Structure formats: structure tokens, C-alpha cells
Structure 1
Amino acid sequence: MAEIAIDPTLGPVVNRVAGERDVLESFLDFHRAVLLRKLRGLSDPDAARRLLPSATTIAGLVRHLTEIERNWFHILLDPAPGEVFPTSEEAALASFTLDERDTVESLAADYERTCDRSREIAARFDLDHVVPQPQLGEVSLRWILVHMIEETARHVGHADILRELTDGTTGAL
């Protein structure tokens, strides 16, 4: 059988017969990388431009997913003293809000640092590790990874549409 050439940036394809953790982590990392591809190459005004009736922007999606990473990995799995998992709808909506210091590069750098820290935290636990979550009761690291794949992929789809509306760029790569 001939060797099939696979683009190494496609972690889920590379890990198609890997163990459960490698598969889960590669899907999450793939969607994280696609989000950054949707952001990079845009001007700061284009990244922050509202193209929908809602406040959803590409920059806002990156800001939101940075907060979601912090909530599910940092606060839930490795909380600092006094840190509390946010449970209000207002907190979720506020995580999309940009301030005047937010730039494409600052948002990308913050997201990358946050994801690096999330990977470090997750690596300390096995998939069956369970933690209390204020709205759901107990959740496992496995569940958190699947949830983060879903959350990130869903918002990457939003970013894909916004990027297409901005400059016509489409696709994951």
C-alpha cells in the first residue's frame, strides 16, 4: 500500500488511530489553530468590525474563547485562591467585549498563552479526573475536553463566516 501524504498541521488526521487523549487534544488544538488563522492577517478595525446585529466579531470571539479556556481549565482544574467559576449569562456576554487596548496581536498572544497554560494544567490529570462544576455537578477532564472541542469548533464556524464576509477568506487552512 502506498504511503499517504498527510499535512502535519491536521492533527486529527495525523492522530486518526491514536489513543483517546491524543485524539481529543489534537481536535481541540486543531480548532484553536484555525481560530488564530481566522484572526491573523486582519487589521485591528476589521477584526473588531460588527457585521451582524449581535456584538459578535472575530476579535470578540477570540476574547470569548480565551475566557472560556480560563474558566474550564484554569479556574475549574487549577483555581487560584478565591477564584470562582463564572455562572451568569452576563459574564458570558461580557467576555465578547473588547477594549481599546485589544489588537489582533495582543488577542492572539493572550489566547496562545492561555491555551499553553490550559495544556499544562490538563496534562497533570488523567481523563477520568473529576472536579465539581457549579452548574453541572461533577465533570471529568474527558468531558471538559469534549465540551471545549464543541465550544471552540462552534465559534470557529462563526469566525469563518465573519472572515468570509470581511475579505472573502474561507476554509480551515
Structure 2
Amino acid sequence: MNWTAPQPDRSDPPPLGDERVLLEAFLDHHRHTMQLKCAGLTPEQLVRRSAEPSSMSLLGLLRHMAEVERSWFRRRLGGEQLDFLYCDLDDNPDGDFDDTDPAHAEADYATYLREVELARAAAAGRGLDETFHHKHRDQEMSLRWVFLHMIEEYARHNGHADILRERIDGATGE
């Protein structure tokens, strides 16, 4: 049997809760929405590009979000010294989008899911007001800002994913 992207278990964020509960729930909702856009697609469909000259694909978006999860939660917030997964800022800054391969789709999907779990672990037990120094911006940033930024990042890319999915098989919706 050939692999297809799995169906996520997505639910709506709760209408009530404290700030942390709501931030985590909205971020998870957006994470699951990205996965939903990929659900049931083959590796060949996941690497289908939107339109020339763009290298954007659903698999590219997943790979990009794996990099983003890793960067904000583990590298910056957690202070881990980690290499990039798919990019080389000097020689291949868009490798997450440019170097997709259907032969690696299942592994790339698993990497994305692992980075989400590791991001959750990096944020667990930390207060929303906890800060870290972002060396490239030369400023202090809070975990609250990271949650809000990640929700924005997913919301933007989920819009791209909507268009990509509709182009692949006509599927539309949340």
C-alpha cells in the first residue's frame, strides 16, 4: 500500500479558557489545519508546485513549518544549538521549498510532526512572559510573542495551502 498523508484529529479551539490554554489551542488548530490540507494526498501530489516560478508546494510548506517550529521554540526559546533541517542560509536558503522530493515525503511529514512535539515540549512549563534574546533582531522576545507569531505564520501559510489543495484535487474548506 502506498503512503498518503494521514488525517489529523482537528477540533475547534475552546471558546473559554485562560490565555495560555487559548494560545496553545489556536496554535494546535492551525497546525492541524495545515495537516488537514495534506490529508489523503500522495507524495507526488504533496510536491506539486502551485505555479511557475513559485516552488511552493504542500510538502514545502510542511518542511518550512518544521524549520519554523524548530527555530522559534527550540533554537531561540530553548537555546538549543541545532542545524537547519532543509536549508543552508548561505547556499540554499529556500531548500525547504526548493528541494522537495516525493521519495522523502513520508519522512519529511514525520519530521514535521516530531518538530511540533519537540516545540510543545520546549514551551511546556515556561511562562508566557519568559523571554529570550533574539540575536539577529538584537532584542528580548517573550514566549507570548512566539505563540502569537506562530499563529500568524500558520494562518498565512494555511491560506497558501488552501489554494494548493484546491489546485491538486478541487478540495476546498477549512
Query: What TM-score range do you get, normalising by the shorter chain?
Result: 0.7 to 0.9
State the alpha-carbon separation in 2 of the partners of residues 97 and 79 from structure 1: 28
Are the structure 2 counterparts of residues 59 and 99 from structure 1 closer, same or farther at C-alpha, using a change threshold of 3 Å? closer
- CA-CA distance at 1:84 after TM superposition: 7.5
Distance in 1, matches of 2:94 and 2:134, equals 20
* Alignment correspondent of 2:65: 65
Aligned-residue sequence identity (percent) comes to 39
Instruction: Return closer, same or farther for 1:91/1:75 CA change in 2, 3 Å cut-off.
Output: farther
Q: Which amino acid aligns with 2:24?
A: E
Q: TM-score, normalised by structure 1?
A: 0.83
Are 2:78 and 1:78 aligned? Answer: yes
1:71-121 per-residue CA deviation (whole Å, 9 max, x = no partner) reads 00011122334x4899x5976523223344421x32222111110111111
| TM-aligned CA deviation for residue 49 of structure 1 | 1.0
Unaligned runs of 5+ in 1: 1-7
From the superposition, tell whether residues 90 and 73 of structure 1 become closer, same or farther in structure 2 (CA, over 3 Å). farther
The residue aligned with 1:95 is 96
Q: Distance in 1 between matches of 2:125 and 2:90?
A: 30
The 8 Å contact of residues 38 and 159 in structure 1, kept in 2 or not, is answered as yes
Q: Over aligned residues, Cα RMSD in angstroms?
A: 2.4
| Worse-matched range after superposition: 124-133 or 44-53 | 44-53
- 1:144 maps to 146
Please report the TM-score for the alignment, with normalisation by the length of structure 2: 0.83
SS in 2 for 1:80: coil
User: CA separation of 1:160/1:139 partners in 2, compared to 1, >3 Å: closer, same or farther?
Assistant: same
Tell me the secondary structure at the aligned position of residue 95 of structure 1.
helix
Q: Check the 8 A contact 1:36/1:108 in 2, yes or no.
A: no
Q: What secondary structure sits across from 2:133 in the alignment?
A: strand
Alpha-carbon distance, 1:127 to partner:
0.1
Counterparts of 1:70 and 1:28, CA distance in 2: 15
Question: Which residue matches 2:134?
Answer: 133
Q: Note if contact 1:75-1:84 (Cα within 8 Å) is conserved in structure 2.
A: no
Whether 2:164 is the aligned partner of 1:162: answer yes
Structure 2, unaligned stretches of length 5 or more? 1-8
Native 8 Å contact 1:61 1:155 kept in 2: yes
